[in-house]
Amino acid sequence: MCKRSLFISAAFLGLVPSVWAGVAVGPFHEQKGVLEFTGEMIVRPMQPAALADEGYSATQIAKIHQRALDRLKPYTVEHNGLTDWVVMKVPSGYNESTYSTALMRSGDYEYAVPNWRVYALAAKKTPNDTLFPQMWRHKVMHSEEAWSIWTGTSNVTVAIVDTGVFTAHPDLSGGIVKGYDAINRKAEVDGGDVQDGNGHGTHCAGDAAAQGNNSLGVVGEGWKFHIMPVRAAYPEGYASFDDLLNGALWAAGHGAKVVSVSFSGVDYAPVGTTGTTIKAMGSLLLWAAGNDNRNLDMFSYPDTIVVGASDSNDQKAGFSAYGKGVAVFAPGVDVWSTTMDGGYQAWSGTSMATPVTNGVCAMIWSINPDLTPDEVQTILYNSCDNIGSPSIFGHGRVNLYKAALAADASKSLVVGVAPASLALLTGTYYSGNLNNVINGSGSGYRAKTKEVVNVGFTTMVQVNYKVTDPVTKLKYIAPDFRVQATAGPPVTAMSYIWNISTKKWQLVKSVTMNRTGATEEFSGQLSSNLANYVASDGTVKTIIRMLSPVGRRGESGTAFTGSLRFAQLVTKVSQF
């Protein structure tokens, strides 16, 4: 990356062709029916983190970023705030290669690539059949064994970003939810069209989530997943790159946990950016490797799952791309699924393998909804069958049964941790002990309040815990207390936790006890930055405070005896 100046010439602001034309990046090569120029590009400015790594100040970073956007403004079609890329027209006097060179030589951009027209990757088709025994993929993936664990429910939505979906198909209609028309940037609920004009999207939808156990045709990897149709491609089978990317982002932002795209264009950087953005939104993006038998060693996306196609003998499909950039393989030859005429056909392509993998990810999430996208991705990779060299097959061929077993084993456990010690901080000891608090027996641990000037009558008890699970496995911690006061109303009960980072007591929960002698149980959950509360030796420090406050007009509070009837620290522990 060249070092950039904080200033820019007037000539470059206008992008004068005579200055930059003829210097090629790549160059970009058009492939008819695979990747075709549209006269548009997708350009992403350098991101703040990368600029900070180069030593720029926050003020300088803001100037560089704004300059990068301003330079594109005369040609901008759309600025996507989620990913910070600009879809723009190629200026007169340039082509995609020369304009990319002009931009990249400024040092202000992460990438500048064509907004390709990309095409569906379906290859061969075979005659109709609706019988489960002919769905060979379920045999090699051990789906029947997986379904003995879980059949997949509607708690997970899969999105198919494609040519649309024939939503009335009897094997799909029970799972369809409202989708999105990415071509017109319009949600279906607002009049967007999601109906399939090609058939490719309908087949992909059935690959992932055809309804199961309904006496009809075929079955996906789960029996009752929700299906979100996203129409981003035209009936002729091609799409604008940014329509696919926009559709994928919309789906992730509207409830889809797994989003798959079965079109060309996988080896262009916006696919990786979109996968990272979608993962940050809590979902996963899958993209087809391609049907051109290429070695995709030029990239490896950490957050986008690229899928190749295997055959019934666990060999690479002859047409499938392969290599370092391909994360997993899945059945993609003679794959039976739903068609736009309401029937069924067997098609071949990485287009089919990708939604099949979509269904596997959905099954993992359906079994354990608490998993993060990274955890689902790891389970998917670790549960694959080794069918050959990783240099060709990546992590291997997906196995639904192994994935289901791993997902089931990863379920979080809710554990109650008993107090390890008590200490009275404010007030006078009256009766009770640690065992009373642990067991919820007797009258608990009781203390008489102390009057604090301008505050009221209060008592405070410190309760410490010892957590044995590593903080990295904790999903949340929740101090849980049951208290009682002999006076009122009102008495306020408050729980605090020691923040190791700030070295202060942090309020967790506060409740008002409005009835004298009433018992109140309350809990407050903490789920982020747990290392701030759990010490390296597992110690967690909490306080339960009870207060009869000074009145608004200066009336004194009421002395009372406070009782800590029960205490525990509730933890949710990941088994992953």
Active-site residues, by number, are 162, 200, 351
Nearest to 195 by CA among 221, 234, 226, 225: 234
Task: Report CA 443 to chain centroid distance, whole Å.
Answer: 47
Contact status, residue 410 vs residue 379, Cβ threshold 8 Å: yes
The structure tokens listed for 117 are 């027209």
For 240-280, give the DSSP string: EHHHHHHHHHHHHHTT-SEEEE-BS-TTSHHHHHHHHHHHH
- Report how far residue 288's alpha carbon sits from residue 315's, in angstroms, rounded to the nearest whole number: 17
Amino acid at 118: V
Kindly give, in sequence order, each residue whose CB lies less than 8 Å from that of residue 342, ignoring residues fewer than 6 positions away: 166, 168, 169, 170
Q: What is the DSSP letter of 383?
A: T
- Report how far residue 79's alpha carbon sits from residue 88's, in angstroms, rounded to the nearest whole number: 9
Distances (CA, A) of 522 to 509, 512, 564: 8, 11, 12
The structure tokens listed for 415 are 């554990």
The structure tokens listed for 110 are 């992460």
Nearest to 260 by CA among 377, 162, 154, 188: 162
- Report how far residue 513's alpha carbon sits from residue 301's, in angstroms, rounded to the nearest whole number: 54
If DSSP states are collapsed to H, E and C, what string results for 485-554? ECCCCCEEEEEEEEECCCCEEEEEEEEEECCCCCEEEEECCECCCHHHCCCCCCEEEEEEEEEEECCCCC
